[in-house]
Amino acid sequence: ALALEACKVRLNFAAYLSEGYRNREAVKVIKEAQDSLTRLVQWALQCPPEDLAVQALGREARTLHCSAVVAEAAALDLFEDDGQPPLAEMSEELKETARATSSTMPPDHPLPFLVRKAFGTSAASRTSQRKRSVLKDVTRMTVSNI
């Protein structure tokens, strides 16, 4: 549970960095959170399925990982050229993982909407929509609240 809370703190810190137009640093912190969340999900999958507390922790980690992917997309979208090498684009595998995770959420949860807005419904639909503002009509405060 402590590892999950540490990831939440990292994502909140990344939101503050992004609000301060320090998106390169925000992406780095988001990636750290994603790595930790991936390890947490893998650990939960290795635990017995009858351990309900661990399974609940794993579900929350998957949801938070999905949020971190959306946060990375927003940070990359807001990234300004700072004279340093450009940041790497997000992998299709990471986007597909976010789509799959968000598709299992309740319809009233805000995350599936953000995932669809950022990445479309599939890799094929995303490639037809070349570079546009990822979350153009979603306020920056939404990213801060993820």
Q: What are phi and psi of 15, to 5 degrees?
A: -65, -40
pLDDT in tens, 86-101: 667 767 777 888 888 8
Residue 127 confidence (pLDDT) above 60 = no
With contact defined as beta carbons under 8 Å apart, do 111 and 133 qualify? no
Residue among 78, 73, 128, 134 at smallest CA distance from 98: 73
- Segment 29-38 shows an average pLDDT of 93
More confident of the two residues 136 and 92: 92
From 5, 19, 116, 22, select the one nearest 69 (Cα to Cα).
Answer: 116
> Mean of the per-residue pLDDT values for the chain?
78
Look at residue 39 and tell me whether its pLDDT is greater than 90.
Answer: yes
pLDDT value at position 84? 67
Show the DSSP H helices in 20-139 as ranges.
Answer: 23-46, 52-78, 92-103, 110-119, 123-127
What is the gyration radius of the CA atoms in the chain, in angstroms? 15
Q: How confident is the model at residue 133 (pLDDT cuts 50, 70, 90)?
A: very low
| pTM of the entire predicted model | 0.70
